[in-house]
A and B are shown apart, each in its own frame.
Chain A
Amino acid sequence: MSHATDIGTKSALQTVAIWLLRNHIWVFLALTVAVFSIASPYFLTLNNLGNILTQGAFIGILAIGMTMVMIDGEIDLSVGAVLALASALAIGLQDYMGVWPAVFLGLMSGAALGFLNGTLIALSGMHSFIVTLGGLIGIRGLVFVYTGENALMVPDFSYTEIPEIYLGPISLTAIIFFALAIFFQWVLSSTRHGRETYAVGDNIEAAHDAGINVKRHKIINFTICGTLAAVCGILLSMRLGTAEPNAGRIWELWTIIAVVLGGTRLQGGFGSMWMTIGGVLTLAVLRNGLRLLNTPNYVELMVMGAVLVLALVLDKLLNHRGET
C-alpha cells in the first residue's frame, strides 16, 4: 500500500477516484438503489427502505462479529447455530425465570460458546474453520436436544412488542445494528484492541513478537462474535415470538457473503465496519428489490452467486491497480 506516501501530489480527481475504488461497495449500492428505484415504484418509499434496514439488520449484527473475526484472519461458521440456541433459550427459559433473566441467559450462552470456540482455537492451534465447523454441527445438536425438535412458543406475546419501537421508519432492530456497527468501528479504529486486530490479521508472528497476547486477543474476538450472534438470535425471537430449532440455518453463509461483498478480506488484516455496513445493505437491497420485481426465488440465488464472484474479481483488479 504505497499510495499513502504520494497522496499530496495527486489531483483532487485522483483522490476521489482512489476513494471510490477503495469503497466500491458504496458505489455498487448506489447503483443497485438507482436501478431498483427506476424498476419498481414501491422500492423508493420510506416504508420499504425501513423494511430493508430491519431485514438487513439480522444478518448485519452477525456480520459485525464476523468482521472482527475475519480481520483477525479467522472465520466463524457457528454463528447460525449459536443464534438458534440463544433464541431457544431466551424463549424456553421464560417459563422458569421471567423474560429478562431468560434473555440474559440466552446472551450468555452465545458469549460462552464464542469463548469456547476461541479457547479451543487458541489452545489447540487448530484452524478456526475446523473448530467452528464442528461447532456448527454440534451446537445445532444442542439446540435440538434442548428444544426436543419442537418450535418453542413464547408464553406471553407482549414479548414480541419489545422491538416494536420506531424512530421514524427505522425499527429498534435496525437502530441496534447501526449502534453496534458504529461502536465496533470505534473499537477497530480508536482502541488498542482494534489496532491489535489488524496487526494479528496482517502478520500473526510479527504481532506476537511485538508483544501482543495473540491467544487472549483471539478469544476476545470470538467471544464478541458469539455474543453478537446471540443478540441477533434474541432479536429474532422477539420478532417471531417462536424459536424454531432450524432457525438461522445457512445464515453463516449469508453473513460471510455480506462481509466479503463489503470488501473485508478473508486473509485478514484488512476491512472495516463501514465496508460491512455497505455489504449488508447491498445484500438486503438486492434481496428486497428482486422480490419487489416479482422475480422467482432462483434469480435471487443466482444473482447473489454472480455478484459475489464479481466482487472478488473487482477487488482483485482494483487492488492490483491501487498498489502499484
Chain B
Amino acid sequence: MGQTINGVLRRHGLVLAFIVFLASVALNADAFLTPGNILDVLRQVSITGMMALGVTFVVLTGRLDLSVGSLLTLLTVIVVDQHNIAGPFPAIVMTLMAGMMVGAFNGLLVGFLGLNALIVTLAMLSFLQGLVLFYSGGSNVNVQNAQDTWFAVFGRGDFLGLPVPVVLFLAGAVIAGLVLQFTTFGRRVYAVGGNETASIFSGIDARWTVFWTYVLSGLTTGVAAVIMGSRVMGAQNTIGQGYELTVLAGVILGGTSLLGGSGSIWRTVIGISMLGFIQNGLLLLGFPYYVQWLVTWVVIIIAVWIDLGAKRGRIFA
C-alpha cells in the first residue's frame, strides 16, 4: 500500500498538487472554475506556453535558453512593423524565419562551439535588446489599419468557440509532444540530455541535436510573437522583458530537470498553466498582483523539492 501511494505520488504528485490548489481556490472564489475564466487563463498563458514548448526541448538536452524574452520583443516589433510594410502573410513568414535564425545562431555557438549555454544566451539577451532598439529607433510601433486586417485573428479570434491563441498553444503542444515521443529526433534529445558522451558513442551527432532544439525554441518564440503582436496590435521595446524567467519557471515547475534527459511536454503545459492559475486565482481572491510572485517562489521550491525527493526516495539530500 505504502509502495503504491509512493508510486502514484512519484508519477502524478504534480497533477495532484495542481488539483488540490485549483479546488482550494475554487472554494473561495466562485468565478474561478467557470469555463469563461479557464479560457481566460489559457489565453493568458498561451504566449509563455508557446515559448515554453521550444525551451523544453533545449532544457531536455541539458542546456538553457535565456534569450527568448528579448527574442519575443524583437520578433513582435518585426511582425508589427513588417505588417505595415509588407502585409500580414510576409510579416509572419519573416518573423518565423528570423526566430529560427537567431535560434540557429544560439545553436551554432552552444552546439558546435561547445560554449556555455547560460552565458551564450545571456549574451544573446543583451544583444537582441540592443537590436530591438536599433530596429525600432526606440519608438513603439503599431499596426496601422487595424480594422481591416485578418492579422488580428491570432490574438483575438475564435475558432470553434475557443480563442485562437489557445488553439495554437494546444495544437503546438500536441505536435511538440508527438515529435518528442515518437520521432528519432525526440529520442535523440532525451539521449543527449541523459548522457551526452554515451549518446555520441551510440552514433548520435549531439551537435546537430542541440542545434535543432535551439532552432525550435526560436520558432516557437516566433509563433508566440505573432500571437503577441496580433493581440496587442502593436509592440513596445520592453514587451517581452522578463518572459524568459516566467518560461523557465513554468518548465521547471513542470518537473523537467535542468540537468537534461528527464521531463516532457505535458509537464511543461501543466507547469505553465499552474503559473497562470496561481496568478489568476490570487487576483480573484483579492490579493495585490505581486503576491503571486511570493506564491510562485514557494510553489517552485516545494514542487521541485518533492519531485526530486520522490525520485531519490528520500527528502533530504
Contact = CB atoms under 8 A, between A and B. Distances in A.
B and A form one assembly: yes
Interface of A: 75, 120, 122-127, 129-131, 133-142, 144-145, 149, 215, 253, 256-257, 260, 266-267, 296-306, 308-309, 312-313, 316
B119 A129 contact: no
B242 to A, nearest CB: 8
Interface string B284-307: 000010111110111011001100
A133 B129 CA distance: 21
Given A133-B249, A316-B114, A308 B119 contact: yes
Given A144-B290, A302-B130, A137 B296 contact: yes
B104 to A, nearest CB: 15
B131 A130 contact: no
Contacts of B114: 316
Contact of B317 (A125, A134, A141, A256): A125
Nearest to A122: B317
B130 A298 contact: yes
Nearest to B116: A266
B15 interface: no
Q: How large is the interface on B (under 10, 10 to 19, 20 to 34, 35 or more residues)?
A: 35 or more
24 contacts: A123-B316, A124-B304, A126-B301, A127-B258, A127-B259, A134-B249, A137-B296, A140-B290, A141-B294, A141-B297, A145-B294, A215-B317, A256-B118, A257-B122, A296-B134, A297-B133, A304-B123, A304-B127, A305-B126, A308-B123, A309-B109, A309-B115, A309-B123, A312-B115
B120 interface: yes
Contacts of B317: 122-125, 215
Contacts of B123: 257, 304-306, 308-309, 312
Contacts of A301: 126-127, 129-130, 133
Given A125-B312, A126-B304, A141-B297, A308 B122 contact: yes
Contacts of A298: 129-134
Q: Which 7 pairs between the two chains have the least Cβ-Cβ distance?
A: A138-B297, A125-B317, A305-B127, A141-B293, A301-B130, A144-B290, A302-B130
Contacts, number: 144
B252 A130 contact: yes
A59 to B, nearest CB: 14
Contacts of A140: 290, 293
Contacts of B118: 75, 256, 266
A260 B122 CA distance: 11
B283 to A, nearest CB: 14
B130 A141 contact: no
Contacts of B296: 134, 137-138, 141
A136 B245 contact: yes
Contacts of A125: 308, 312, 316-317
A267 B116 CA distance: 9
Contacts of B305: 120, 124, 126
B248 A302 contact: no
B122 A256 contact: yes
Given A149-B290, A215-B317, 14 more contacts: A124-B309, A125-B316, A130-B252, A130-B300, A134-B300, A137-B296, A138-B293, A141-B292, A141-B296, A296-B134, A302-B131, A304-B130, A308-B126, A313-B113
B47 interface: no
Contacts of A303: 130
Given A141-B297, A145-B294, A313 B119 contact: no
Interface in B92-132: 109, 113-116, 118-120, 122-132
A78 to B, nearest CB: 10
A142 B294 contact: yes
B258 A130 contact: yes
B130 A137 contact: no
Contact of A133 (B119, B252, B292): B252
Nearest to B133: A298
B297 A129 contact: no
Contact of A137 (B116, B129, B133, B293): B293
